[in-house]
Homo-oligomer: A and B are copies of this chain.
Amino acid sequence: MIKIAVDLMGGDNAPEIVIDGVRMLLEKDADVEILLFGDEKYKFEHERVTFQHCTEAITMEDEPVRSIRRKKDASMVRMAEAVKYGEADACVSAGNTGALMSAGLFIVGRLPGVERPALALTLPTVDDKGFVLLDMGANADAKPEHLEQYAVMGNIYAKAIRKIDKPTIGLLNIGTEDKKGNALTREAFTLLSQHKALNFIGNIESKGLLSSVADVVVTDGYTGNMVLKTLEGSAHNIFKMLKAEMTKNTKNKLAAAVLNKDLKNIKNKMDYSEYGGAVLFGLSGIVIKAHGSSDGVAYYNALRQAKESVKENVIAAMREEIAHD
C-alpha cells in the first residue's frame, strides 16, 4: 500500500478540486492510502483516507520561508512532515509554489550530494510524446554543476516514469552549435559532454521544444520559468485571437461550429494539466506541486504521478546515482 500525504487547503480551487482528485484516485487505484491534511469542516469519510485536522493554511500571498517556519500547524507543513517522518511515501499540494519548495528543502530535506533542488515539469509536444523540462524556477542563479545534476535527475525520472530506455538529454541554448550561449551554458555543455552515463545530444533551441527534440531538457531556473511563461502567453494570445476571428460574424460562427471539436484538441494538447504536476527533484522524498487553478482531473494526474514515482523507486535511484557522482 502506497501512502500519499495531501494538502487539502492549497490552491486557488481548494478544497473542491483536491477532494475531486482524491476521490478519483481512490476509485481507480486500490493500492493507495491518503493522509489528508486540512480543516476538519471539509472532512470526508473513506476507508483509505486518514483525515488530519490542521488549524492553519498557507496562502498564495504568504512569504515562502517565513510561513513554513511560523505556521507550524499549516496543512502544507504537516503534509511535508508526514513524508519526513516516514508516515507517507509522497506528498502533493496545489498551494504557494515558493512555500512548497521551502517545505521540501527545510522539512523533507535534500538528498545527500544534491546542491540545488530543481522543479521539473512534463510539457506537451505536437506529436504527444512530451518532454521533461527542468529547472522551472527553483533556483534562478544556477552554476554549471547544477545543470549537470539536473540532467542526471531528469534522466532517472524519464527512465522510471516516462518509460524511455535511453532518454535523450538536451541543453537549452540560443543556438545548436557547441560554442553557443552564455558563460553558464558553455561550461555546462563541457560538463555534460564529458558525462558518459548520459545520452547527451548537445544544445537545443527553444523553437524546437514543441517538436520533441529531446526527452529531457535542462536549463537554469530563470530561463526555464521564462520559457514556460512565454509558451503559455503565446498560446493564450493566439487562441484569444482565433476566438475573436471565429465569432466576429455569423458566417464565421457557423464555420467555427464545424471545426470546434477538432480545434479543442489543439487547445487540450497545449494543456499542461494533462501531464500531471511539477516535481521537486533532489529531495529525500517525493514532493509534487499540482496545478492550483485547474480541475479535479489535473489533481488526479498529480496524485497518480506521486504514486508512480513511489512505485518506481525514483528517490532511491537518485540517491544512488548522485552519491556516485
Contact = CB atoms under 8 A, between A and B. Distances in A.
B241 A269 contact: yes
A131 to B, nearest CB: 13
Interface in A205-222: 205-211, 220, 222
A251 B262 CA distance: 11
Copies per complex of this chain: 2
Given A235-B238, A242-B266, A259-B245, A206 B181 contact: no
Contact of A174 (B137, B237, B240, B246): B137
Contacts of A317: none
A245 B226 contact: no
A29 to B, nearest CB: 32
A141 B182 contact: yes
A234 interface: yes
A126 to B, nearest CB: 5
B258 A229 contact: no
A163 interface: no
B258 A172 contact: no
A233 B209 contact: yes
A194 interface: no
A223 interface: yes
Interface residues of A, number: 52
B245 A262 contact: yes
SS class, residues of chain A in contact with chain B: helix
A14 to B, nearest CB: 22
Find the residue from A207, A211, A252, A270 having the highest chain B CB count within 10 A. Answer: A207
Contacts of A263: 242, 245
Interface string A191-209: 0000000000000011111
Given A181-B222, A182-B140, A233 B206 contact: yes
B252 A259 contact: yes
**3 shortest interchain CB distances as A-B pairs:** A207-B233, A255-B258, A140-B182
9 contacts: A182-B220, A207-B232, A234-B238, A242-B242, A242-B263, A242-B266, A252-B258, A252-B262, A255-B255
Given A174-B225, A181-B222, A207-B236, 6 more contacts: A137-B174, A207-B232, A241-B266, A245-B259, A245-B265, A246-B259
